[in-house]
Amino acid sequence: MAKIPDPLVLMLERMLANPPDATHPVLLAGPTASGKSALALALARAQGRIIVNADALQVYDMWRILSARPDADDCAQVPHYLYGTVGREQDWSVGHWLRAVSRLLEQHRNAIIVGGTGLYFRALTEGLVEIPPIPAEIRRQADTLLDAEGAASLLQQLDPQTRAQIDVANPARVQRAWEVLHATGTGLATWQARTPPPVLPLSQATALVMRPDVGWLNDRIDSRFTKMMEQGALQEARAALPFWSPRAPWAKAIGAPELIAHLQGQISLSQAQQAATLATRQYAKRQRTWFRNRMKGWTGLVQ
C-alpha cells in the first residue's frame, strides 16, 4: 500500500482543513516520485472519490513496477481507472485518454485525476483537436528520416507556424508534427487552432500541482529505483525483451531502455541502474519545467 511521504502529511492536513469542493473533480499533477499517488489516495479516501490515471506510461499493462502503478491494496481501497488497461499492441494516444476520461467524468464528477503527463492535463482543460490517424507508411518514412538524418531534417520541412510553436528539442514532438503535415497536408499549428472547447475547464475543477523540494525529490528518485529493482523491475523488462521496439510508445517507460540495454549485453546492471536513475531525474526536471511554464493558473502545493 502506498504510504504518504512524511513531508506531504502536513500538506494533506491543510487540504482537509479546507477541502476541495466535493462536487468538482480534482486535478493533481506532479513530477515522478513526488508522492502524488499516495496523496491522491488519502484525499480520495477522505472525500469518497475515485482515482483516474493521467500518466501516459501507467496505462500499459506490462509496466506495473517500472511505471510505479498503484498496487492491489491501493486499488482495493478506492476505485482506480485507466491503470494497466492497454496492451503493447494497442493504439493509445492523448485522444484515446481524453475520450476515456470524458466518459468517466459523465459518471463520476468527484474524480481525482492524477498523474505527471502534462499533455493529458492540457488536453483535458484546454481542449484537443481530433487529427486523422497517421498512415503506417507515413510513420515509417518519418522513422527512416529520423534515423538517417536526425530530427533537424524533419524540423526543416515543417511549416513556419508549427516550427515556432512546438518543442523543437523533443524529437518525438518534431516527428509528430512532420507526420501530421505529410499525412493531412495541413500543419499541426493550423490543426491546433481548430481546437474545440475543453472537456473540463479549470474553472470547473480544483487544479493542484505539486512543487516538491528538488533535493528531497532526487533522494526519493534514487531510493525508488533501488526499490523497483528489489520488486522485480529487471524481470519486468526481461518479459518485454522479445517485443522490444525502442520507438513504441510503451517503450518510453523510464528505466526500461536502460534495463533492456543490460539484458542485451550492452551495459552492466550497475550501469543500467545508474543510467535509469539519471534518466528519471532528468525526466522529473522536464516535468517541473512544464508545470512551471504551462500550469501558472494551478494552485501550487509546496512542501
For residues 218-237, average pLDDT: 95
What pLDDT is stored for residue 170 in this prediction?
A: 86
Residue 1 has pLDDT above 60, yes or no: no
What pLDDT is stored for residue 4 in this prediction?
A: 64
For residue 176, the domain's CATH number is: 1.10.20.140
What pLDDT is stored for residue 13 in this prediction?
A: 82
What pLDDT is stored for residue 302 in this prediction?
A: 85
For residue 224, the domain's CATH number is: 1.10.287.890
Q: Residue 80: beta bridge partners?
A: 51
For residue 110, the domain's CATH number is: 3.40.50.300
Say how many domains are in the chain.
3
Residue 6 has pLDDT above 80, yes or no: no
Confidence of residue 193 (pLDDT cuts 50, 70, 90): very high
For the segment 142-155, what is each residue's pLDDT rounded down to a tens digit? 999 999 999 999 99
Same domain assignment for residues 69 and 153:
no
For the segment 25-79, what is each residue's pLDDT rounded down to a tens digit? 999 999 999 999 999 999 999 999 999 999 999 999 999 999 999 999 999 999 9
Residue 115 in contact with residue 37, Cβ under 8 Å? no
Rounded CA separation 169/130 (Å): 24
Phi and psi at 187, nearest 5°, equal: -70, 155
Average pLDDT of every residue of the chain: 93
For residues 293-301, average pLDDT: 93
What pLDDT is stored for residue 303 in this prediction?
A: 72
Rounded CA separation 142/179 (Å): 7
AA identity, residue 14 = R
What pLDDT is stored for residue 11 in this prediction?
A: 79
Q: Taking each helix axis from N to C terminus, what angle separates 6-17 and 36-47, rounded to the nearest 10 degrees? A: 30
3 against 249, higher pLDDT: 249
Residue 220 in contact with residue 228, Cβ under 8 Å? no
Same domain assignment for residues 207 and 86:
yes
Same domain assignment for residues 227 and 294:
no
Rounded CA separation 19/266 (Å): 51
Q: Is residue 125 part of a domain?
A: yes
Cα torsion 107, 112, 114, 117: sign:
positive
What pLDDT is stored for residue 287 in this prediction?
A: 96
Residue 40 in contact with residue 51, Cβ under 8 Å? yes
Give residue 48's domain range.
Answer: 6-129+199-213+287-302
Residue 65, C-alpha cell as written in the block: 513496477
- In degrees, rounded to 5, the angle at the alpha carbon of residue 82 between the alpha carbons of residues 29 and 92 is 95
**Distances from the Cα of 269 to the Cα of 229, 274, 287, angstroms:** 10, 9, 27
Same domain assignment for residues 79 and 171:
no
Residue 7 has pLDDT above 80, yes or no: no
Same domain assignment for residues 108 and 244:
no
Same domain assignment for residues 125 and 225:
no
Same domain assignment for residues 11 and 146:
no
What pLDDT is stored for residue 156 in this prediction?
A: 94
For residues 181-200, average pLDDT: 95
